[in-house]
Amino acid sequence: MINRYAIFFLILFAFVSVSAAEDEMVERLEWKTFFDKHNATGTIVIDDGRGVSNKVSVYNSARASKRFSPASTFKIPHTLFALDAGVVKDEFQIFPWDGVIRSYEPHNQDQNLRSAMRHSALWVYETFAKALGEEKSRSYLNRISYGNMDPSTSSGAYWVEGQLTVSAVEQVNLLKKLYHNDLPFKTEHQRLVKDIMTVEAEKEWILRAKTGWQGRYGWWVGWVEWHSGPVFFALNIDTPNSWEDLYKREAITRDILASIGALPANTKK
């Protein structure tokens, strides 16, 4: 009987904790002006870890909970999978260019982990996926509870054209675990992934992030590290004008981060 009561209260406590966490998420309707400024439709989740307690803010909470293809933002966990499986040894390993001419010139050359992340070289990660196979990939996805955990695809990369999907809320949760080295991978591998995610750095802050584009919509996810704590973000927008809309991912996010003092204005080089 005691065990039964103990289980009941544990379940009740978990429910209350989850409900409290949901109550702490604040809808920021005023952020619509930043999306309107760039004529964009989308969502953003910001988890501000500066201060005593985290503050989670969201614009378009319905969309923030909706799952989309992660596209190249999946390179963040995918790199951890490849490192853990020994498909790639370290940041210095060279992946010889396959000779296929692609539309984005930086892809048409040998790559290492750092350049593959920076230039979002899809072909490098397709070699990782082939080496891992669907069964092992599914196992890794389940290990970190990533989105719908489905690596199946009829054609193309499963994180772009396949069945794998993830929400902006889930993206932020993953980033928080990575920041704290709390993912089920070696600490040195998590630190390496964070290092190759570095986009910009100044004396007081470091920006680590990754873009993603599925064709119909795009992502920018990451965080800004401050001495007072990290500020995590995940933005997802529609891209009906294809390449012409891609700049909006960073532009909107930077504007919103600047509005809350999480990133200086006009830092884009």
Q: Residues with catalytic annotation?
A: 72
**Contact in structure between 122 and 213 (CB atoms under 8 Å):** no
Closest-CA residue to 125 (of 78, 71, 89, 171): 78
Closest-CA residue to 146 (of 154, 155, 137): 137
Alpha-carbon separation of residue 247 from 17, 124, 166 (angstroms) = 38, 24, 22
Question: CB-based burial of residue 18 (10 Å sphere; 0-12 exposed, 13-18 middle, 19+ buried)?
Answer: exposed
Enumerate residues 6+ apart whose C-beta is below 8 A from 99.
Answer: none
Give the pair of three-digit tokens for residue 105.
Answer: 């010139």
